[in-house]
Chains A and B, each alone.
Chain A
């Protein structure tokens, strides 16, 4: 069964025309669902209309004034920090720009490029030398016993270190 437009008529607050009212009453006689909505809404509406406004606990505006002072202080503090960060950032940027300008005024870009390539090449050469020295040292025969002793020693030290860390962390938690 169609409940429209009766459902809308029931829930709207506009005054119904006599024809609408007659049609609605006829529909309500035959439709249990709309009858339930009608009864439910009448009661709910009555309750809504009679419900009062709730007031806050006394002193609401005083609490607001107090919080206003605190919030403004916090806001001012935040603004100060923000200004400080902005100032520091601007200072850093200005210094970087100044340094770059100074460097560029004494050295030409071509010279800087050559120096940079030289530095990279030197770094690669040094790395190769380190690798060469390490490989040469490891080629000498090392006794198995020495290896075992070194490994055991390092393991014991690592265990001791981990145990100390664990103990300190547990004791710290217990003290709290």
Chain B
């Protein structure tokens, strides 16, 4: 996903701005995606991603080369987003927000694209109802395919805490999904049944 020349990282660690820009270019997508999934708004996600890269730039000396750079970067972004979530109490998710999926679609069928966008927004809204840390754990697990140990390292948690949060997040998601689906099907049935005279 993010193949980075180790030399570029080395140059960036030595203070080379051009090399750091290359790092930004390479890791912009995962960092932005994490911020977007955490905050639910494109503009805020852009700001948060920019801020995360700036914080990484300022703290490059603290980076431990034994750890993957992306894990460290996502850790900064996740902590920043969790702090933001704590500061603002209510999360507003614009329904009309356009989900910009730039990954190439092998079959550009308009119906399929629309349905995929709807499903993604639906998932997005479901995830938005989780707590900030539970959401971060879920995003790192499913979008960034991190192991429980990597998530624990990124979020400064124990592995058992990660497992517990993952379990809680999945359970909440499953319950809400099922409830929402039942409500939707009830509405559909009501819409199609014949009126009572």
| Contacting residues, chain B, for A11 (C-beta < 8 A) | 167, 170-171, 174
Q: B24 contacts A60, CB within 8 Å?
A: yes
B174–A56 CB distance below 8 A: no
Instruction: Check B30–A53 contact: CB distance below 8 A.
Output: yes
Q: For the complex, is B17 an interface residue (Cβ under 8 Å from A)?
A: yes
With A54-B32, A54-B37, A56-B32 already in contact, the answer to whether A39 and B178 are too (CB < 8 A) is yes
Contact partner of B100 among A50, A54, A63, A67, CB < 8 A?
Answer: A54
Q: Tell me whether B173 and A60 are in contact (CB under 8 A).
A: no
Distance between Cα atoms of A41 and B167 in the complex (Å): 11
Contact A64 B53 (CB under 8 A): yes
User: B29 contacts A55, CB within 8 Å?
Assistant: yes
Q: How far is the CA of A34 from the CA of B77 in the complex (A)?
A: 35
Contact A60 B28 (CB under 8 A): yes
How far, in whole Å, are A50 and B146 apart by their CA atoms in the complex? Answer: 16
Asked if B91 is at the interface (CB within 8 A of a chain A CB), the reply is: no
Segment at the interface with A among B5-13, B60-68, B118-126, B187-195: B118-126
B123 is contacted by which of A51, A55, A67 (Cβ under 8 Å)?
Answer: A51
Q: What 0/1 pattern do residues 44 to 61 of A give for CB contact below 8 A with B?
A: 110111111111110011
6 A-B pairs with least C-beta separation: A40-B178, A40-B174, A41-B174, A40-B177, A56-B32, A55-B102
- B46 contacts A57, CB within 8 Å? yes
What per-residue 1/0 map shows which CB atoms of B158-189 lie under 8 Å from chain A? 00000000010011011111110100000000
Q: Does A151 contact B (CB under 8 A)?
A: no
Looking at the assembled complex, report how far the CB atom of B70 sits from the nearest CB atom of chain A, in whole angstroms.
Answer: 13
Contact size range, A = 20 to 34
How many B residues have CB within 8 A of the partner chain?
Answer: 44
Asked whether, in the complex, the Cβ of B99 is within 8 Å of the Cβ of A54, the reply is yes
A21 interfacial contact with B, CB 8 Å: no
The residues of A that contact B116 with a CB separation of less than 8 Å are 50
Give the A-binding residues of B (Cβ under 8 A). 17, 21, 24-25, 28-30, 32-33, 36-37, 42, 45-46, 49-50, 53-54, 57, 99-103, 116, 119-120, 122-123, 126, 138, 142-143, 167, 170-171, 173-179, 181
Instruction: Name B124's closest neighbour in chain A (CB-CB).
Output: A51
Query: Are the C-beta atoms of B174 and A60 separated by less than 8 Å?
Result: no
Q: Is A65 an interface residue (CB 8 A)?
A: yes
* Cβ-Cβ contact count across A and B, 8 Å cutoff: 115
Query: Which of B36, B119, B126, B174 is close to A54, meaning CB atoms less than 8 Å apart?
Result: B36
Q: Give every chain A residue within 8 A of B178 (Cβ-Cβ).
A: 36-37, 39-40, 43
Nearest residue (CB) in A for B43 is A57
Min C-beta distance of B171 to chain A, whole Å = 6
Q: In whole angstroms, how far apart are the Cα atoms of A44 and B120 in the complex?
A: 11
Within 8 A of B (CB), among A1-53: 7-8, 10-12, 36-41, 43-45, 47-53
Shortest B185–chain A CB gap in Å is 12
A56 touches B46 (CB 8 A): yes
Selected A-B contacts with CB under 8 Å, 29 pairs: A7-B171, A10-B174, A11-B171, A36-B174, A37-B171, A38-B174, A41-B173, A41-B174, A44-B174, A48-B123, A48-B142, A51-B120, A51-B143, A53-B29, A54-B32, A54-B33, A54-B36, A55-B101, A56-B46, A60-B24, A60-B28, A60-B46, A60-B49, A61-B25, A63-B46, A63-B50, A64-B21, A67-B50, A68-B17
Closest residue of B by beta carbon distance from A60: B28
User: B32–A44 contact, CB under 8 A?
Assistant: no
A71 within 8 A of B: yes
Q: For A37, list chain B residues within 8 Å (CB).
A: 171, 174-175, 178
